[in-house]
Structure 1
Amino acid sequence: MRALGQRSIASFIRLVLDAAWWLVAVSVVLLSGLLVCALFVNLEGDNLTMDLPIALVLNAPVHDNSASLQTDARIEKLRGNLRFPVRRGAFFSGSMLLVVVLFGFLLWGLTQLRHVFRSLSRGLLFIPENARRIRWVGFAVISGELARAAVVYFWSFYTSQHFTVNGLRFVASMDFNGITILSGLAILVIAEVFREGTRLHEEQSLTI
């Protein structure tokens, strides 16, 4: 199977990206509608729940079963999700707005990728638009991860201030993913490779 052109791997990926783009676009519309409802309609009591990522510290001693003694071992942090009924107010509306922004980042990145693979499925590799679009994808990946980490910290800080559990303590945690940032930087490098390849291709075309 060919990598570029019609009926190639690039054209298959383009179809997958098209489906993903429409899925995210519909999600953005639905989330935006829910955000508008949250501003003007009381959603409490409508069986709506929020599911937020949390980090917990266990306030309990750890025992060594072989010696039946307490040891210096301790559980530093537990991660999970906290589900609770929607509460009308600034927190829910702000959370919905942040989710819409994150999905907007995702939609924008998918849009750039769709254009790149659309040109690749037509056999157009070294064109200036591809280098620019791949660069925007890299920025979207980095910015999206930073925004996601900030949102997770906001949610975990909220739970640490408003919820308590016997023997457990909620803590604010950012959950930063360095691999995603490295991936974004790698995409920026690939964009520069495309830009240089485009420049050489144009120079070769002028020479011929």
Structure 2
Amino acid sequence: MASPEIDALSKALARLPGLGPRSARRAVLHLIKKRETALAPLLAALKAVEANLIVCGLCGNVETRDPCSICADPRRDPAMLCVVEDVADLWALDDKRLFAGRFHVLGGRLSALDGVGPGDLAIDSLVARVADGGIAEVVLAMNATLEGQTTMHYVAERLAPLGVRVMQLAQGLPVGGELDYLDEGTLALALRARRLVS
């Protein structure tokens, strides 16, 4: 039997995506055995993130400064904007510099079953951002799920009066697939073969 503190740590880790109770216990045992080389640096990194975590006021990325490094990067094309559902999708697309423009994170997707409506997402701020001018093309990089496609069509309708070119990722992404689980090649091809939203 583990102490209540160790048990609480195992349960906390088990709530992370990709870790179940057994994997969490193994991770805790590893951290305990490697206190100085694994546990102490992990604790320091967690405390630093907790103390400095900021949501970018422009795009919604999660980082330690505002504006985030993507929005502040002068090498990025300010006329191109990629709209994603979640920060994980932004990180997946930006990991290998597959998109040369800037991003906008909606913070989820429309879902009547989950009670998520347009007001719960950063759609109004997206429309305002595009209406301010300077953006020529918006790529809607939504997950290939029913909710993702519904969100894409709703956002495209909201952007239509603004006169920007609204594109979507090419088909070929697996139905039900999520961007942060796709390989670099699939993401690169989907971005290169983007097309107008129909």
The TM-score, its normalising length taken from structure 2, stands at 0.23
Question: Which of the pair has the greater relative contact order for Cα pairs under 8 Å at 6+ separation?
Answer: 1
TM-score, normalized by length of structure 1?
0.22
Structure with the larger helix share: 1
